[in-house]
Amino acid sequence: MTTHATPTLLWLRQDLRLSDHAALHAAAAEGPVLPVFILDDSDPWAPGGAARWWLHHSLKALGTALAGLGAPLLLLRGEARRVIPDLAAALGARAVHASRLYEPWARQRDADIAAALTARGIALQLHSGATLAEPHRLRTGQGQPYSVYTPFSRAMLALGEPPPPLPAPTALTGTKPPQEGLALEALRLLPRPPVPDWAARFAEYWTPGEATAQARLGEFAARHAATYDRDRDFPGQDLTSRLSPHLHWGEISPRSIWHAVAPAGLTGGRLTYLKEILWREFAYHVLWHSPQLPERPLRAEYEQFPWQPDEALLRAWQQGRTGYPIVDAGMRQLWQHGWMHNRVRMIVGSLLVKHMLQPWQNGAAWFWDTLVDADLAANAMNWQWVSGCGIDASPYFRIFNPILQGEKFDPEGRYVRHFVPELRNVPDGWLHRPWQAPDLVLRGAGVVLGRDYPHPIVDHDAGRARALAALSALKAVE
């Protein structure tokens, strides 16, 4: 490789890593590389607030790593449809390399950019990297997209072991950018005054970047993967991988995860965990074939579902003031950490759309803004799953009981007491149903319901009955 060779533009997006990076390898093989990241807020699904916090710190880590290899990261802001063709032409690049995205708007944008580049004699080359298999690759025996997860996962497993991850480069040949880039702070990804710094505690729980992702993966594979099937449902214990934000931003690849977890055998907890990775693959498969997934129910009859939108109810749910301790703990964990345990995500989602009859799109929008791992395909499919309106979804009549869920999965109250400290002195037997506790018990715990902690926002039995009545009304219309 020589410094006078034709330079190549490496367009980084949700692939903020060096290892197992096919686009990076291809670009480096052609000559000097200019890595660029463009913050494009014209995207219809631009990152929410929590994801922007993560992106800031991930770009900082990646920028340091790339500079150390000899190819500093160029940061720009603007519409990628215009910036990429102009930048590639000014650079004199022969090709632009990027990792493939699967969101419908991203696919259309890439097609537009490819056409603009082709008109200038430049190629856009897209590479796999975010999934184990391309979402359009798998089909049923009838040649149709999969609509049920279990057959899809079997088909994925039948593909066999994915190729081993590519190594990270040890050096790169950079090239001078044709324009001056922005300082990271100029992207304004972090909360800014007069807005309160709602992300102030994120750094206590997260360190974005590839190095942390690799370390977290190694620890999980060695210590917790084998028992994941037994441990994954207990939010009061830190026994899950917590790799979801690293995976979303591409700080680690699904192939790297597979090869770290699978060598000890596809059994027990290891298989259960890898099936979670396959659930993510299924979400991308569904989004590819059903681009309406983030906004409209995939079961058309649910377009007529009799939701009862209520801003006050939605706000109480968002703030963790529903009166159901396991739900409130989850919503407060979300606000403090930018993340929520997966079991609790299902519980809080069920309460919102069933007991409270709030549209699932409102819950999905809140998660989009507050999750550091907000992923369009997974977020939308999971909300449609809990709402019963997606393909292969949990039936609408399956209604989580937040009391029993709390007692089963947080029996000692470790999770609730951490995030709902006003209930810390309530005995285990009453912790998940404090409104049923005798007055003497509540006085001993220093809790006055309605003052220190709210009464349930909706009675469980009444909420369940109302949800089932709404379902019956929907079926009557069909």
Q: Is 342 a catalytic residue?
A: yes
Choose the catalytic residue: 317, 339, 383, 385.
383
Choose the catalytic residue: 45, 279, 335, 435.
279
The tokens for 153 are 């996962």
Choose the catalytic residue: 134, 276, 407, 422.
276
- Report the 3 state secondary structure along 307-349: CCCCHHHHHHHHCCCCCCHHHHHHHHHHHHHCCCCHHHHHHHH
Choose the catalytic residue: 45, 198, 342, 422.
342
Q: How far apart are CA 400 and CA 463, in angstroms?
A: 11
Choose the catalytic residue: 339, 360, 368, 430.
360
Q: Which residues are bridge partners to 76 per DSSP?
A: 38
Q: Is 279 a catalytic residue?
A: yes
Query: Is residue 85 a contact partner of residue 76, using CB atoms and an 8 Å limit?
Result: no
Nearest to 294 by CA among 102, 40, 69: 102
Choose the catalytic residue: 307, 335, 401, 422.
307
Tell me the residue ranges of DSSP E strands in 8-120: 8-12, 33-39, 74-77, 95-99
Q: How far apart are CA 457 and CA 73, in angstroms?
A: 49
Q: Is 383 a catalytic residue?
A: yes
Q: Is 307 a catalytic residue?
A: yes
Q: How far apart are CA 395 and CA 412, in angstroms?
A: 30
Give the distance between the most distant pair of CA atoms in the chain. Answer: 82
Dihedral sign (CA 436, 439, 445, 447): positive
Q: How far apart are CA 184 and CA 66, in angstroms?
A: 14
Residues noted as catalytic: 276, 279, 307, 342, 360, 383
